[in-house]
Amino acid sequence: MANPRVALFVTCLVDLFRPSVGFATVKLLEDAGCAVEVPRQQTCCGQPAYNSGDKADTKAIARQVIEAFEGYDYTVAPSGSCAGMISKHYPALFADDPEWAERAQKLAERTHELVSFLTDVMGVEAVASQFDGAVTYHDSCSGLRELSIHDQPRRLLGSVEGLHLRELPDANVCCGFGGTFCVKYADISDRMVETKITQVIETGADTLLAGDLGCLMNMAGKLQREGAGIQVRHVAEVLAGMTDKPAIGEPSKD
Amino acid sequence: MSGSTTSQFKENAVRQLADVDLRQALTKSKGHFTGGRQNAMDKLPEFDALRDQARDLKDHVLENLDFYLETYEQNVIASGGQVHWARTAKDAQDIVLDICRSVDATSVNKGKSMIGEECDINEALEANGIRAVETDLGEYIIQIRNERPSHIIAPAVHLTKAQVETSFRETHTHLDPDRILEEPPTLLEEARTVLRKKYFEAEVGITGANFLVAETGSSIIVTNEGNGDLSQLLPKVHIVLASIEKVVPTLEDASTFLRVLARSATGQDFSVYTTVSTGPRRSTDPDGPEQYHVILLDNGRTGMLGTEFHEMLRCIRCGACMNHCPVYQSVGGHAYGWVYPGPMGAVLSPSLLGVDEAGHLPNASTFCGRCEEVCPVRIPLPKLMRHWREREFERHLTPRAARTGIRLWAFFAQRPGLYQMATGLQMRLMGWMGRRKGRFSSVPLAKGWTKYRDLPAPEGKTFQQQWAGRK
Ligand code: SF4
């Protein structure tokens, strides 16, 4: 497909906390030749309800997403977690409802996480951007284990001029975010994120990247609380060359 | 069941998180387990195919559980052994005590058995004046410290070497106080010497079973110390304690599981000792017990068959899920408050103890999915934990504040217009408040977050607002 119509599932966290990730996503998709649209009828993918055991509300939200995103060539989200929710969990939710199961399945097949969509579907091999510095990369759990996203971001980051990637030991171990987990079991989550940022600091990188804003906010918040002086950004910002905005949790320069 | 503190998981966790010895012990063991498994996998290209086989085999057994259990029973009897069915943990205790009394036992050798823990066998024996001697080094260590296992295959993994040394010096007071006890081999040697004498005193030996073989009526245990062999061969009576889902059709099938078990557990190709026992000593055998008993425990397992928790019965107790679980690795096994910790416990304990008691466990997970990734029989542990959360939500067991919060949020999430207006206003306000620092170090409604981390301030206008403006 030369110029697919792509619906952007912006994700609730990007919409509310870091719209610049949304715009970086739009730029990357447009550069790859996609016509991007943003369905108005979107809020969240429903994971907070799903992971709290509230199945009725999850289904209601899922139906709303399916209705809003049907009819596009693809749906793309700058998050492995939300893309995984739609592509792996929606079909299972409607297992006892053939009509919705079919609609969920159709949407699932056309839904992708941003970076893997660029490489695996659009065939992007390099980006034309520049970022001077040593970065390290954390593999967010859902993207890694539900969608097998591992090499794709590393490949594209390798094409960014000036960027040096330092591999993070235990990059595949959870950062302790886990949605509502991080507030419900704050003490345990804290130990997990502490372990994570200790390893981040040991890489000597000056910037930490990942593909999910929830994990990024968790790690950024902890790094800042500890005064580590490491910048945290969504991988899309760096790939799109849109790093003029302050990093996550940093004050604006003016 | 006695001794469970599972309902206090949160408090337990806070206490364990503050334990510096625990942290040191876990940091040390973690790399050993995860690295070991990875190496074992790398060396065996067909590992994933074996996992599929193991999964399918267990599914087949569970579909035909009655058939295989009956076949197993017939073959135990045919080889001269006896089978006892225990519906509950109490039944299992009573059967063990009856057998012990029938031979006037005063001392029992015990090989490692999680079913023994599940049924509080040691407590039952002690209460009846029978001494239980744990022969597994890890079990022995926690026995002299008066603790519970913190891991299903490495019961003393929560302890540092220094802690073990201290306990040995305190307990083995008959030995030279100036002896050198620093290295693990010297600790093992000392335990051996102390224990070996006791092996010969026991009238009864109790072991668990990793597998029960229907075709031959045999039980199989794997150990690294060989202690199981001594516990079961020397005494007059051997009792095997096993739960019903341990049965496998043939010896050949058992070997399929053995090929994934040790690799998943410790990264060994095979455990050091794999012991197959079939019936009591025959006239031609050089040694062996005079009586061979098997106690088959149900304790809630048949109630899981055919439910959404059915797949949990595939578990072969390798411990890989806890070795790879970042929550377990943070809080250690004792925080879980009962016999089964980590992801497998988070699914199994609510089934066996009731979700009212163990409801925290399936909630205390980020669903990172690492447990499912390493499980040799491919149990979808996060999915099963989510099923428990659904049951809790249906039964209104979810804490009121959390429930109200989710329902309120879901109300807005289902009304995009209202949601965008409300969040648009809120983000503008928060963005304005946080514009100087870029983050908040304290937010009244988000204390769970800001207790330990800063909260990044939103940029201001939401994406939706800006997108609408751009067009
Ligand atoms: S659930 Fe799987 S990984 Fe965990 S102990 Fe059981 S078999 Fe091993």
User: Which numbered atom of ligand 1 lies nearest the CA of B317?
Assistant: 5
Q: What is the CATH number of domain A125-239?
A: 3.40.50
pLDDT of residue B471: 65
- Residues of each domain in chain A carrying CATH 3.40.50: 5-120, 125-239
Mean pLDDT of A227-238: 97
In Å, how far from its chain's centre is CA B120?
Answer: 16
Residues of A in contact with B369 (CB under 8 A): 141-142, 145-146
Q: A–B: how many Cβ contacts below 8 A?
A: 203
Cβ distance A66 to A90 under 8 Å? yes
List per-residue pLDDT tens for chain B, 471 residues long.
Answer: 558 999 999 999 999 999 999 999 999 998 899 999 999 999 999 999 999 999 999 999 999 999 999 999 999 999 999 999 999 999 999 999 999 999 999 999 999 899 999 999 999 999 999 999 998 899 999 999 999 999 999 999 999 999 999 999 999 999 998 898 888 888 888 988 888 888 888 999 999 999 999 999 999 999 988 777 778 888 999 999 999 999 999 999 999 999 999 999 999 998 899 999 999 999 999 889 999 999 999 999 999 999 999 999 999 999 999 999 999 999 999 999 999 999 999 999 999 999 999 999 999 999 999 999 999 999 999 999 999 999 999 998 888 888 999 999 999 999 999 999 999 999 999 999 998 899 999 887 788 899 999 999 999 999 999 999 886
Q: What is the CATH number of domain B6-297?
A: 3.40.50.10420
Nearest CA-CA partner of A11 in A238, A239, A213: A213
Question: H helices of A70-129, where?
Answer: 80-84, 90-93, 98-109, 114-116
- The answer to whether B304 and B312 are in contact (CB under 8 A) is yes
A interface test, pick of B27, B437, B463 with most A CB neighbours within 10 Å: B463
| DSSP conformational letter for A168 | P
- The answer to whether A186 contacts B449, with C-beta atoms less than 8 Å apart, is yes
Partner residue facing A16 (CB), from B363, B462, B467: B462
- Any residues with CB less than 8 A from the CB of B335 and at least 6 apart, and which? B9, B12, B13, B15, B16, B341
Distance from the Cα of residue B385 to its chain's centroid: 15
What pLDDT, on a 0 to 100 scale, did the predictor assign at position B379?
98
Please write the tens of the pLDDT for every residue from A165-222.
Answer: 999 999 999 999 999 999 999 999 999 999 999 999 999 999 999 999 999 999 999 9
For residue A123, give both structure tokens. 């065939």
Distance in Å, CA B374 to ligand 1 centroid: 8
Closest residue in A to B331 (Cα–Cα): A188
> What is the pTM for the complete model shown?
0.96
CATH topology of domain A5-120: Rossmann fold (3.40.50)
Question: How many CB atoms are located within 10 Å of the residue B426 CB?
Answer: 13
Q: Check if the beta carbon of residue B220 is closer than 8 Å to that of residue B270.
A: no
Record the tokens describing residue B382, joined without a space. 């996060």
pLDDT at B11: 97
Cα dist from B10 to A11, A135, B14, whole Å: 31, 36, 6
Interface test with B, best of A42, A43, A55, A66 (most B CBs within 10 A): A43
- Record: contact B463-A14, CB cut-off 8 A: yes
Query: Residue A215: which H helix or E strand, with range?
Result: helix A213-225
Q: Helix axis angle, A186-202 relative to B9-17, nearest 10°?
A: 30
Strands (E), B203-272: 204-207, 211-213, 218-223, 237-243, 247-248
Q: In what order do the strands lie in the sheet with B107-110?
A: B82-86, B291-297, B237-243, B204-207, B107-110, B131-134
- The pair of structure tokens assigned to A253 is 């320069």
Q: Cβ distance A18 to B458 under 8 Å?
A: yes
Cα separation values, B220 from B214, B381, B425, Å: 11, 26, 65
Per-residue model confidence as pLDDT tens digits over A90-120: 999 999 999 999 999 999 999 999 999 999 9
| Cα atoms found within 13 Å of the Cα of residue A57, Cβ hemisphere only | 27
Q: How far, in Å, are A220, B383, B434 from residue B452 at the CA level?
A: 12, 29, 18
Work out the number of other CB atoms within 10 angstroms of the CB of residue B57: 19
Give the whole-angstrom CA distance, residue B403 versus residue B400: 5
What percentage of residues in chain A have a pLDDT greater than 90? 98
The band of A254, judged by pLDDT with boundaries at 50, 70 and 90, is low
Q: In this complex, which of B412, B413, B454 lies closest to A249 when CB atoms are compared? A: B454
Q: Rounded to an integer, what distance in angstroms lies between the CA atom of residue B168 and that of residue B152?
A: 22
| Residues in the ligand 1 pocket, defined by CB under 6 Å | B 315-321, 344, 374-377, 379
Query: What is residue B255's predicted lDDT score, i.e. its pLDDT?
Result: 96
Tell me if B439 and A245 make a contact (CB, 8 A cut-off).
no
Residues of chain B in contact with residue A217, where contact means CB-CB under 8 angstroms, are 455-456
Residue pair A29/A119 in contact by the 8 Å Cβ criterion: no
For ligand 1, the distance from its centroid to the CA atom of residue B348, given in whole angstroms, is: 11
Helix (H) / strand (E) containing A223:
helix A213-225
Per-residue tokens: A109: 């097949």
SS3 content of chain B, % helix, strand, coil (to 5): 55, 10, 35
Per-residue DSSP letter, A87 = I
- Measured in degrees and rounded to the nearest 5, phi and psi for residue B221 equal -125, 150
Residues A97, B62: Cα–Cα separation, whole Å:
28
Tell me the C-alpha to C-alpha distance, in Å, between residue A241 and each of A37, A94, A129, A162, B463. 21, 40, 5, 12, 18
Strand, helix or coil for residue B64: coil
Radius of gyration of chain A (CA): 18
The residue nearest atom 8 of ligand 1, judged by CA position, is B318
Task: Enumerate the domain spans of chain B.
Answer: 6-297, 417-470
Residue type, A180: T
**Ligand 1 mean position, distance from CA B55 (Å):** 11
Cα separation of B233 and B127, whole Å? 25
Contact B409 A49 (CB under 8 A): yes
Say whether B13 and A187 touch across the interface (CB within 8 A). yes
* B211-213 vs B131-134, strand pairing mode: unpaired
- Assess contact for A104 and A87: CB atoms under 8 A: no
Nearest CA to ligand 1 atom 6: B315
C-alpha–C-alpha distance, residues A86 and A99, integer Å: 16
Which of A19, A49, A182 faces B463 most closely, judged by CB atoms? A19
CA separation (Å) from B266 to B36, B322, B371, B407? 6, 12, 15, 44
CB-nearest partner of B456 from A146, A177, A248: A248
> What secondary structure letter does DSSP report for A86?
I
Instruction: Name which of A194, A248, A210, A219 is nearest A78 in CA terms.
Output: A210
For residue B28, the SS3 value is helix
